[in-house]
Amino acid sequence: MNLKQQLKAVTDIIDELKGENVVTLKVLQQSADIEAIVIATGRSTQHVRGIVNNVKIEAKRLGMKVVGIEGAETGHWMLIDLAEVVVHVMTEKTREFYKLEKLWSGTDDE
C-alpha cells in the first residue's frame, strides 16, 4: 500500500468509529522514520482504546505492518505505530494539553 492508501484506510476507520477532529500531517521532512502522523480525538478512554484496536485489526487485515501500540494502560493517549504512519488517538483534554499539531507543524499560533 502506498502512503495515500494507508492514510485513507486509517482515517476511514477512525471516521467509522466516530473519532473526532481527525488531522493528517505529512512529516517526512521533520522525521527520517515516519512519513505521516494522524491525530484524532476520542470521547472517552474506552473510545480511544476502541479506535486504536480497530485501526490495529484493519491495518493487519490490509497487510500493513503494526510495529507497536503504546498507552493502553491509561487510554488517555494511545499511539499505534504502523511504520510509515503513526496514529495518535487522545481524549480531548489530553489533546488540548499536548498540542501535537502545533509541535509537528512548527507554527507558533495559539
Domain ranges of the chain: 3-105
Q: So what's the pLDDT on residue 110?
A: 47
Average pLDDT over residues 47-52: 98
- Per-residue pLDDT of 74-110, as tens digits, reads 999 999 999 999 999 999 999 999 999 887 776 544 4
Q: Which amino acid is at 23?
A: V
Query: What is the Cα–Cα distance from 62 to 79, expressed in whole angstroms?
Result: 19
Domain covering 3-105: architecture: 2-Layer Sandwich (3.30)
Query: What is the Cα–Cα distance from 106 to 41, expressed in whole angstroms?
Result: 21
- Per-residue pLDDT of 18-35, as tens digits, reads 999 999 998 877 766 789
